[in-house]
């Protein structure tokens, strides 16, 4: 069976680490490269975290590229310490803190995106797990870039007007609303979105999380460690997500990755044009679904509604059974 080609754009926090491992564990996909963007932490930490994940999984042959260090226009006014200041729970100590600098590629992430996708036209699925700055820059450097993609999977935005960082703003979009706007206006390839509310509505029970991280493998031990001091991985911490959607464990980025690996995990979806609001005191960064077709835009995207949680659990479980023995 021919492998699906993947490029992952990440702001590697804890849920990105889980999503990257999901792709590493899927024999049906081949990762051409991982491009890094600021977001959960600085882009330097994101590169280091991505390389840490690849190292735990014995997959350091996958090239990692450093990308955007900030958003296009205004610095977002919200905290970025969701998963600790280093993005991976502030528990890891590297023997050589500068080792990542010799491991990261010298080519810029945006150039790498354009090169990898241009070399494999119509074959690459791009999975975007952080702010969309690298993608926005790619389409400005190469306006044909979206046409060369097979498709685009995004974790981000919202479908019910609920935000997790501002009243109406989801983290990845509010970190760089202009880039989210550019991507959703200019990427005319087939586009699939796992919004914040979708991921929260498809949460999993905490006893599943315990079983997941207590597997006896290097990847599970790594996940157990990076979630050990992070309050949002404690069932007793009540966040806005718990208040709105009920208690449970949500690995946000893993939903977009799971759909890229096996689209049959998406049981229900809405197909319509979407827009990103740039103005407004409350609405900046919000994704609005035009399912009533009020606006002239024709390009539909696929916004997920329901997830096959049995299949999703299997993908998560397998993702922590790394490194693979052969």
Are 193 and 154 contacting, i.e. CB atoms less than 8 angstroms apart?
Answer: yes
> Would you name the residues annotated as active-site residues?
11
Report the candidate in 191, 159, 167 with the shortest Cα–Cα distance to residue 276.
159
Per the structure block, which two tokens stand in for 295? 């606006």
Cβ nearer to Ca ion, comparing 80 with 110: 80
Report the candidate in 241, 234, 156 with the shortest Cα–Cα distance to residue 191.
156
**Cis, bond preceding 323 (omega within 30 deg of 0):** yes
CB of 80 to Ca ion, least distance (A): 11
CB of 169 to Ca ion, least distance (A): 15
CB of 134 to Ca ion, least distance (A): 13
266-272/191-194 β-pairing:
unpaired
Cβ nearer to Ca ion, comparing 11 with 142: 11
Could you say whether residue 176 binds Ca ion (CB under 5 A)? no
The CA-CA-CA angle for residues 206, 82, 89, to 5°, reads: 75
Report the residue from 31, 36, 114, 129 that binds Ca ion according to the rule CB under 5 A: 129
Enumerate residues 244-303 that contact Ca ion by CB under 5 A.
253
Stretch that binds Ca ion, among 26-34, 62-70, 128-136, 283-291 (CB under 5 A): 128-136
Burial 21-53 (b: 16+ CB within 10 A, else e): bbbbbbeebebbbbbbbbbbbbbebbbbbbbbb
Instruction: State the Cα–Cα distance between residues 97 and 93, nearest whole angstrom.
Output: 8
Cβ nearer to Ca ion, comparing 56 with 148: 56
Are 168 and 195 contacting, i.e. CB atoms less than 8 angstroms apart?
Answer: no
Give the per-residue contact string, 235-254, with Ca ion (x = CB under 5 A; - = no). Answer: ------------------x-
Cβ nearer to Ca ion, comparing 142 with 253: 253
Instruction: State the Cα–Cα distance between residues 40 and 172, nearest whole angstrom.
Output: 9
CB of 230 to Ca ion, least distance (A): 14
Could you say whether residue 16 binds Ca ion (CB under 5 A)? yes
Cβ nearer to Ca ion, comparing 129 with 289: 129
Instruction: State the Cα–Cα distance between residues 85 and 63, nearest whole angstrom.
Output: 24
Instruction: State the Cα–Cα distance between residues 224 and 5, nearest whole angstrom.
Output: 29
Instruction: State the Cα–Cα distance between residues 276 and 274, nearest whole angstrom.
Output: 7
Instruction: State the Cα–Cα distance between residues 96 and 253, nearest whole angstrom.
Output: 29
Could you say whether residue 130 binds Ca ion (CB under 5 A)? yes
The CA-CA-CA angle for residues 7, 105, 217, to 5°, reads: 65
CB of 18 to Ca ion, least distance (A): 10
CB of 84 to Ca ion, least distance (A): 14
Could you say whether residue 157 binds Ca ion (CB under 5 A)? no
Stretch that binds Ca ion, among 14-22, 71-79, 281-289, 315-323 (CB under 5 A): 14-22
Are 304 and 266 contacting, i.e. CB atoms less than 8 angstroms apart?
Answer: yes
Cβ nearer to Ca ion, comparing 11 with 86: 11
Q: Give residues in contact with Ca ion (CB under 5 A).
A: 11, 16, 129-130, 253
């Amino acid at each position: 069976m021919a492998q699906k080609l993947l490029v992952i754009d990440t702001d590697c926090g804890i849920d990105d680490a889980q999503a990257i491992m999901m792709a590493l564990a899927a024999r049906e996909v081949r990762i051409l490269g991982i491009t890094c963007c600021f977001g959960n932490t600085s882009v330097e930490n994101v590169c280091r975290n991505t390389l840490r994940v690849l190292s735990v999984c014995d997959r350091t042959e996958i090239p990692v590229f450093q990308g955007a260090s900030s958003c296009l226009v205004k610095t977002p006014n919200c905290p970025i310490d969701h998963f600790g200041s280093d993005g991976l729970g502030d528990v890891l100590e590297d023997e050589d803190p500068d080792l990542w600098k010799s491991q990261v590629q010298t080519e810029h992430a945006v150039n790498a995106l354009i090169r990898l996708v241009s070399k494999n036209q119509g074959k690459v699925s791009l999975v975007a797990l952080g702010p969309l700055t690298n993608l926005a820059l790619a389409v400005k450097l190469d306006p044909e870039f979206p046409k060369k993609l097979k498709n685009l999977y995004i974790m981000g935005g919202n479908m019910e007007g609920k935000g997790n960082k501002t009243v109406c703003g989801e983290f990845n979009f509010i970190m760089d609303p202009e880039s989210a706007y550019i991507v959703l206006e200019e990427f005319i390839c087939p586009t699939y979105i796992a919004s914040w509310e979708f991921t929260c509505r498809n949460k999993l029970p905490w006893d599943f999380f315990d079983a997941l991280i207590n597997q006896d493998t290097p990847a599970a031990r790594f996940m157990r460690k990076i979630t050990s001091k992070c309050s949002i991985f404690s069932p007793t911490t009540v966040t806005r997500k718990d208040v709105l959607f009920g208690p449970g464990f949500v690995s946000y980025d893993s939903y977009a990755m799971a759909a890229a690996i096996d689209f049959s995990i998406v049981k229900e979806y809405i197909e319509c044009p979407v827009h990103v609001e740039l103005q407004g005191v409350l609405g900046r960064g919000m994704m609005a679904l035009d399912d009533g077709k009020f606006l002239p835009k024709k390009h539909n995207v696929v916004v997920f509604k329901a997830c096959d949680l049995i299949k999703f659990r299997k993908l998560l479980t397998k993702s922590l059974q790394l490194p693979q023995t052969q």
